Chains A and B, each alone.
Chain A
Amino acid sequence: MARYLLDSGVLLGYLRASPFAAYIDQHFSPFALANITAISIVTQGELRSLALQLHWGSPKQQALKDTLLKIPYIDINHDAIFQKYAEN
């Protein structure tokens, strides 16, 4: 059982079905039921910012928002997160 906080690059890898995300999924299974995986609210913002920078219309922006709702997100302004970040 493990806890994972996926960064924006890794999440993009999943969303874009990239080989590095396939490697991560195969070796770490972050979305397996026994594991707890979340993204940060910053990642939510970064991905939605990409949608704006790409001048997407509402349907595509909504599709991205709907996908992001499936993944728990947390506020990273927390000592426990800073500590883990420092340790790694």
Chain B
Amino acid sequence: MRRVMYKTSVAKAQKRKKNSPTLQAVVVSGFFAAPEPGRKRFQLVMKNGEKFPGKIDERLIDFQNLRKLRGQQVTIKGMLHFQASGKPRLLEAQMITLWQPGDEAFEAISVPLPKVQIRAQVHGARTDRNLAAEIWGKWPGNESIDQLLDMLRSPDTTD
């Protein structure tokens, strides 16, 4: 069977890909399920029943130590990979800890919608060990910290 892709479809797909993030840092809580013993994969089952496939960052987590977490409610810090459509594809865990009171705030994943035109340009492996360094001094403008804090306190007073 021959498939024809029209120009408009290609343009639409390209636009959607351009406007979708590929990687987003997340913190998320749910039930930890490791349905495939021996494989370094897991599933995170959210409170609403939604399931996210996940894998661990082996440089940071020893999978053997995670067996005791099976079925437990956990909080995971990591990177969320997206499909070109903007839907979450894979959760890469960098740190997994038992859920604790207050972690209810992490029971839903906040992801940017494709229409807000956010596109990640994060390349290569990244861990939180150097996140402070990655954002340190990365404000793209020349405004002083005092000027920025003033703007925060009294918005709409620029110019």
B-binding residues in A (CB < 8 A): 1, 3, 8-9, 12-18, 21, 25, 29-34, 36, 38, 41, 46, 49-51, 53-54, 56, 60, 62-67, 69-76, 78-81, 83-84
The reply to whether A33 and B94 contact each other, CB–CB distance below 8 Å, is: yes
Q: How far is the CB of B77 from chain A (nearest CB, A)?
A: 5
B105 at the interface (CB under 8 A from A): yes
A-binding residues in B (CB < 8 A): 21, 23-27, 60, 75, 77, 94-95, 97, 101-106, 108, 110, 112, 118-122, 126-129, 131-132, 134-141, 143-145, 148-149, 151-152, 155-156, 158
Query: Which residue of B has the minimal Cβ distance to A83?
Result: B102
A16 neighbours in B (Cβ, 8 Å): 137, 139, 143-145, 148
A1 neighbours in B (Cβ, 8 Å): 97
The reply to whether B149 and A9 contact each other, CB–CB distance below 8 Å, is: yes
B94 neighbours in A (Cβ, 8 Å): 33
B132 neighbours in A (Cβ, 8 Å): 14, 25, 29-31
The reply to whether A36 and B152 contact each other, CB–CB distance below 8 Å, is: no
A53-B23 contact, Cβ under 8 Å, with A14-B135, A15-B139: no
Partner of A65, one of B77, B108, B118, B144: B118
Q: How far is the CB of A19 from chain B (nearest CB, A)?
A: 9
- New A-B contacts (4) at CB < 8 Å, excluding given A14-B132, A65-B118, A75-B110: A14-B136, A36-B75, A80-B104, A80-B105
Number of A-B contacts (CB under 8 A): 129
9 cross-chain CB contacts under 8 A: A14-B132, A31-B132, A34-B95, A36-B27, A36-B97, A50-B148, A53-B155, A69-B24, A69-B112
Query: Which residue of A has the minimal Cβ distance to B138?
Result: A67
The reply to whether B126 and A70 contact each other, CB–CB distance below 8 Å, is: yes
Partner of A53, one of B119, B121, B149, B151: B151
B95 neighbours in A (Cβ, 8 Å): 33-34, 36
A50 to B157, CA, bound (A): 11
A15 neighbours in B (Cβ, 8 Å): 135-139
Interface-central residue, B21, B23, B144, B149, by most chain A CB under 10 Å: B149
